[in-house]
Chain A
Amino acid sequence: MKRYSVFAIAREALRYHQGWEKAWASPAPKSSYDVVIVGAGGHGLATAYYLGKNFGITNVAIIEKGWLGGGNTGRNTTIIRSNYLQDPSAAIYEKARSLYEDLSQDLNYNVMFSPRGLLMLAQTHHEVRGYLRTVHANNLQGVTTEWIGPEKVKELVPIMNIDGPRYPVLGALYQARGGTARHDAVAWGYARACSAMGMDIIQQCEVTGVRSANGVVTGVDTTKGYIGTKKLGIVVAGHSGQVADMAGFRLPVESLALQALVSEPIKPCMDVVVMANTVHGYMSQSDKGEMVIGGGTDGFNNFTQRGSFQHIEETLRALIETFPMISRLKMLRQWGGIVDMTGDRSPIISKTPLGNCFINCGWGTGGFKAIPGSGWAMAELVAKGEPGPLAEEFNMYRFREGRFIDESVAAGVAH
């Protein structure tokens, strides 16, 4: 891998940019690997990357049914934060956020991490109490967040209407080091680094079956033939239940559609991320100037990657009340992704009934922000066969034992 640098740009500028190499190779699958990761989204690629970087395991294939980063990694609203209430969540999301801080240097790929600050608006007295509790919890967890009043909110976001008649802004939970990153670049950066370590990224290769014998996985059947493996990591989002079904176990997840949309680009008007959980919408401005908008999931099981129109309407209605100036913006694009939701709205990073098969799924509506931390924790689980401190609370048997990591109440619905 040739490193990207200012000298590389200068060198290529002098030779008509003929020397740039492909960011990652696209080899045919080998007959077997030490580790096969199903799913080349952010989480799968990050898992592979930290397997190589932290544990020296590089005989790895990452197989992907579509194209790299084309699932939820390419469909989210790129928000990064770690202001969660429960300790296990705060630990893994803060690990992820701190890895994002120097991910561009680590990967030698600009992921455009922008710690521009993030606000979670409190618009009811109940929410004020909830966020104050979260601020105190965060301070104990070592996650820097603060409570700010409505005047400070207005100062940070002048375009916001803080005294709407129905839901006035009563304050906000502010994480100054939260922000956004370029979602595609995260997938591409990890992919390039994995490829440079000699890992095989195999796109357009759908898993059709999981073969096992005596309680251990021996390999996977794919649309490009059988691939043997010593260990299998399932790192899939919307279709996690389907892959688990092939492996012979059931997950406590349901797949729902989550939509997002962007407006036409406008001049810079908002340099923080704003989430409003009571009215249910969140918005940030991309570097291109588009307002990036997200809302809640649809209520019913859905695998079609398209959602219901009234949810977009609901989200926009809420945001227009909070940001009156966006009422005349044209919305350019709208899309949906399929998210796998668990009962407590926290992810699963877990051993499975199959001895050498591990699963990472259930990130629901908030996986993007967790990519580096999730990959870090999953790599440890796959390499050692046992979860480390970041992952152990997230095992899938918590639903049987009643040890929920309940973020559905703590974080509101939006992740």
Chain B
Amino acid sequence: MLILECPYCGVKAEETELAPGGEAHLKRFGPGSPDEDFEAYMFARKNPKGVHFERWRHAYGCGKWFLAARCTATLEVFGTYPAQTTEPPADIVAKIMAKRPDWKGYK
């Protein structure tokens, strides 16, 4: 069972307490954007087999959105961090690098 620590309230929440919200750090495009950008924002996903950054909501807890770094191939959790970030924080990236030396990086 997936357990993520909510970075706001510090609760180690298990899956039934959480709501998944898809890939994190998407670049948003609005009306007037070219079709390619809009398609990329709406539908193109990295869907990696390995390190993945995602949005989660502590739905049956504090109710806040947060982000998590997780491995989709092993279900290992690298860490969670607040949603007010535009890319993964350095300490999470360092943690992933230590465990996955062949990881190609966030971009």
Contacts and interface: CB of A to CB of B under 8 A. Distances in A.
Interface residues of A, number: 23
B35 A239 contact: no
B49 A303 contact: yes
B91 interface: no
A253 interface: yes
Interface residues of B, number: 26
Interface stretch (B38-46, B79-87, B92-100): B38-46
A239 to B, nearest CB: 7
Contacts of A342: 43
Given A239-B49, A343-B42, A302 B75 contact: yes
A301 B47 contact: yes
Nearest to B22: A254
A133 B44 CA distance: 31
B45 A254 contact: yes
B15 A399 contact: no
Contacts of A304: 72-75
A309 interface: yes
Nearest to A298: B20
Given A252-B43, A253-B45, A400 B75 contact: no
B19 interface: yes
A300 B54 contact: yes
Residue from A299, A309, A401 having most chain B Cβ neighbours under 10 A:
A299
B89 to A, nearest CB: 21
Contacts of A309: 1
A310 interface: yes
Contacts of A242: 49
Given A300-B54, A399-B39, A310 B15 contact: yes
B47 A255 contact: yes
B45 A252 contact: yes
Interface string B11-51: 00001100110110000000000011011001111011100
B15 to A, nearest CB: 6
B35 A400 contact: yes
A304 B16 CA distance: 19
Interface in A290-316: 299-304, 308-310
A299 B19 contact: yes
B58 interface: no
A35 B35 CA distance: 33
A310 B47 contact: no
B44 A250 contact: yes
A172 B82 CA distance: 46
Contact of B72 (A250, A253, A302, A308): A302
Contacts of A400: 35-36, 38-39
Given A255-B72, A303-B49, A304-B75, A310 B16 contact: yes
A246 B63 CA distance: 39
A399 B19 contact: no
Given A250-B44, A253-B47, A255-B47, A301 B73 contact: no
B2 interface: yes
A372 interface: no
A241 interface: yes
Interface of B: 1-2, 15-16, 19-20, 22-23, 35-36, 38-39, 42-45, 47-49, 52, 54, 70, 72-75
Given A253-B45, A255-B72, 5 more contacts: A251-B47, A300-B20, A302-B72, A399-B43, A401-B35
Interface of A: 239, 241-242, 250-255, 299-304, 308-310, 342-343, 399-401
